Amino acid sequence: MRVLGVDPGTVATGWGVVELAGPRLQRIAGGVIRLRGPLGQRLAHLHDAIGHLLATHAPTCVSLETPFVGENVQSAFRLGEARGAILVAAARAGVAVHEYSPAEIKVAVVGSGRAGKQQMQTMVAKLLMWSGVLATDEADALGAAICHLHTQRFVAQVGVDLPPRSRRPRADRRAWERTVVAVSADSARPVGPALRARRGRA
């Protein structure tokens, strides 16, 4: 499975393509789309750039960070406009979009919904075994892709589909976060012969 993760913004949009190859997560490509000019031009550029990435890397789906409404409502509005351009590009390419909150992505990657930017960069690089430099926007986008891949791995293990995030009760979301942490930690841990043998007997 290959996933395009996107961290949306109207000035800088991070993106990263991650592929699940057996038990390993591999960074295929990534970067930051820099946007300049009037808002309409920036959104058009973002739409075209995402469309180009979808055509070039042919991901199975897009993993998109949902907006977080904090103290700055205007920033949330701008983020929503960037998400709209990305959603239209994905729809035109016929690629499904899966959405995760910033906290869910942080839990899947770091194990804490309050993780900072530096922690995200460090853990994303570790999970992908990447020695290069990751910009914060790219690291967040790769984290979104990793979150979806861990989610799908969990779904495959338990054999049930999860309800959309918006319809999960708060208690269920917390239990889900704990499960994602366990799956994330397991995917990052080397599997030795003894552990493989125990899994085979399970």
Active site amino acids: 7, 65, 137
Which one, of 44, 46, 17, 52, lies nearest residue 34 by Cα? Answer: 46
